[in-house]
Amino acid sequence: MHLFTGNFDALEEHFLNFVSLGGKDPFDKVLVVLPSQRLQNSLRRGLADAGGCISGVTFSNFTALSAGINFAAGPDAKPLLPAGPQQDFIIKDILNSYSSLPPSRGYSKAFKAAFRDLISAEVSVKDLLDLKNSGELHSPEQQKNLDEFIVCYSRYNEQIRKDGFDSYGEFFRKAAINAAHSPYLKGFKYIIFYGFYDLTALQYNLFKEICRGFDARVYFPYEDGPAFSFTKNFFEAYIYPLAKTAEKLQKTQTPPALAAKNIFESSASVTQNAEMKFISVSGTAAEVQAAAKEVLLLNEKHHIPFNKIAVFARSMENYKYDIPSVFARNKIPVNYSFDFPLVNHPLAAFVYNLLSLGRNDFYSADAAAVLASPYFKNGKNGWRDIIKNSGITGGLSQWDGLTDLYVNSKNEQAKEAFRQNAAEITAAVKLLSKYYPELEAAGNFDFLAEKATAFIETFTSSELSAQERNILNAVKDIISETGGFSEIRKQAARGEFLEEVLSALKEAVYNKTESYENAMQAADIMALRGQGFEAAVFLGMNEGLLPAAPAPDPVLKEEYRALLQKIGFLIHTQNERYFEEKLLFALALSSVKGKCAFIFERSGDDGKPKIPSLYLSRLTETAGKNLKEPDLFLSRRESEKLKQWPFELLNKSEVSAYAALNCPNNAQILHTAFNPGNQQDENLKTMLSRAPYLAFNAGGLNFYDGIVSKNNPLYIKIEQKGLSPSAMRLLWLCPGAYFFKNVIRVNEPAEYDRAKIPSNAKGTLHHEILQNFYQYIMKQNLLDKLSAESAGKLFDEFAEAFLPPERYKEYGLYPLLWKTLCRDIKKNLRGLIEADIPVLLQRGLKPSFFEYHLEAEAEFAGRKLKLHGESDRIDVNQGSKTCRIVDYKTTKESASMTRSIFEKGILQPPLYMIMLENSKDETMRGLTPEEAVLLAVEEDGKREKSLFAGDYELIKTEFEKAVNYRVDLAENGEFIITPSAHACEYCAYADVCRKDHAPSLRRARNSAQTGKLRSLNASK
Angle between helices 85-98 and 140-159 (to 10 degrees): 140
Residue 31 DSSP one-character state: E
How far apart CA 835 and CA 893 sit, in angstroms, is: 17
Residues facing residue 412 across a β-bridge: none
How far apart CA 738 and CA 989 sit, in angstroms, is: 10
Using pLDDT thresholds of 50, 70 and 90, give the confidence band for residue 895: confident
446 sits in which H/E element: helix 445-459
DSSP E strand boundaries for 661-800: none
Using pLDDT thresholds of 50, 70 and 90, give the confidence band for residue 210: very high
Contact 874, 884 (CB under 8 A): yes
Q: Tell me how far CA of residue 950 lies from CA of 162, 883, 913, 929, 956, in angstroms.
A: 55, 14, 12, 11, 10
Cα-atom radius of gyration of the chain, to the nearest Å?
Answer: 33
Tell me the torsion sign for CA atoms 79, 80, 84, 85: positive
Residue 534 DSSP one-character state: S
Residue predicted with more confidence, 168 or 137: 168
Going by C-alpha positions, the residue among 357, 350, 304 that lies closest to residue 593 is 304
Tell me the torsion sign for CA atoms 718, 724, 728, 731: negative
Using the predicted structure, report yes or no on whether residue 66 has a pLDDT greater than 90.
yes
Contact 749, 988 (CB under 8 A): yes
How far apart CA 618 and CA 785 sit, in angstroms, is: 67
Using the predicted structure, report yes or no on whether residue 757 has a pLDDT greater than 80.
no
Q: For the residues of 823-847, what is the DSSP string, one character each?
A: HHHHHHHHHHHHHHHHHHHHHT-EE
422-460 pLDDT, tens digit per residue, is 888 888 989 999 999 999 999 999 999 999 999 999 999
Angle between helices 346-356 and 466-483 (to 10 degrees): 40
- Buried (b) or exposed (e) across 147-178, using 16+ Cβ within 10 A? ebbbebbbbbbebbeeeeebbbbbbbbbbbbb
The 3-class secondary structure across 242-256, one letter per residue, is HCCEEEECCCCCCHH
Q: For the residues of 885-935, what is the DSSP string, one character each?
A: EEEEESS---S-HHHHHHHH---HHHHHHHHHHHB--GGGTT-EEEEEEEE
How far apart CA 331 and CA 324 sit, in angstroms, is: 11
Contact 287, 540 (CB under 8 A): yes
Using the predicted structure, report yes or no on whether residue 334 has a pLDDT greater than 90.
yes
How far apart CA 1020 and CA 1018 sit, in angstroms, is: 5
Contact 214, 191 (CB under 8 A): yes
Contact 335, 519 (CB under 8 A): yes
CB-count exposure of residue 625 (10 Å: 0-12, 13-18, 19+): middle
- Buried (b) or exposed (e) across 226-265, using 16+ Cβ within 10 A? bbbebbeebbeebbeebbeeeeebeeebbbbbbbbbbbbe
Most confident of 253-262, 713-722, 833-842: 833-842
* Mean local confidence (pLDDT), 502-530: 91
Contact 314, 333 (CB under 8 A): no
Using the predicted structure, report yes or no on whether residue 667 has a pLDDT greater than 50.
no
Q: Which amino acid is at 118?
A: L
Compute φ and ψ for 228, nearest 5 degrees: -105, 20
Q: 228: which residues sit within 8 A by CB, 6+ positions away?
A: 222, 235, 583, 586
Q: 650: which residues sit within 8 A by CB, 6+ positions away?
A: 642, 658
Contact 876, 927 (CB under 8 A): yes
Residue predicted with more confidence, 607 or 274: 607
Per-residue confidence (pLDDT) for residue 753, from 0 to 100: 43
Contact 460, 350 (CB under 8 A): yes
pLDDT more than 90, % of the chain: 51
Per-residue confidence (pLDDT) for residue 678, from 0 to 100: 45
Contact 175, 206 (CB under 8 A): yes
Per-residue confidence (pLDDT) for residue 666, from 0 to 100: 47
Q: 341: which residues sit within 8 A by CB, 6+ positions away?
A: 506, 508, 509, 510
Angle between helices 466-483 and 445-459 (to 10 degrees): 160
Using pLDDT thresholds of 50, 70 and 90, give the confidence band for residue 691: very low
Per-residue confidence (pLDDT) for residue 290, from 0 to 100: 96
856 sits in which H/E element: strand 846-860
How far apart CA 741 and CA 181 sit, in angstroms, is: 49
Contact 273, 622 (CB under 8 A): no
639-660 pLDDT, tens digit per residue, is 888 888 888 888 878 877 777 6
Using pLDDT thresholds of 50, 70 and 90, give the confidence band for residue 595: very high
How far apart CA 509 and CA 527 sit, in angstroms, is: 18
Per-residue confidence (pLDDT) for residue 681, from 0 to 100: 52
Residues facing residue 32 across a β-bridge: 59, 192
Residues facing residue 875 across a β-bridge: 847, 884
Using pLDDT thresholds of 50, 70 and 90, give the confidence band for residue 694: very low
Per-residue confidence (pLDDT) for residue 677, from 0 to 100: 44
883 sits in which H/E element: strand 882-889
Going by C-alpha positions, the residue among 868, 939, 43, 22 that lies closest to residue 530 is 43
β-pair type (276-282, 632-633): parallel
67-123 pLDDT, tens digit per residue, is 999 999 887 888 777 777 888 888 888 888 887 766 677 788 889 999 999 999 999
Tell me the torsion sign for CA atoms 394, 400, 401, 405: positive
Using pLDDT thresholds of 50, 70 and 90, give the confidence band for residue 585: very high
Using pLDDT thresholds of 50, 70 and 90, give the confidence band for residue 306: very high
How far apart CA 847 and CA 878 sit, in angstroms, is: 11
pTM above 0.75, yes or no: no
* Mean local confidence (pLDDT), 462-476: 90
The 3-class secondary structure across 625-677, one letter per residue, is CCCCCCCEECCCCHHHHHHHCCHHHCCHHHHHHHHHHHCCCHHHHHHHHHCCC
Q: For the chain, what is the largest distance between any 2 Cα atoms, rounded to a whole number of angstroms?
A: 98
β-pair type (334-341, 509-514): antiparallel
Instruction: Give percent helix, percent strand, percent coil of the chain, each to the nearest 5.
Output: 55, 15, 30
Going by C-alpha positions, the residue among 198, 89, 99 that lies closest to residue 147 is 99
Residue 755 DSSP one-character state: T
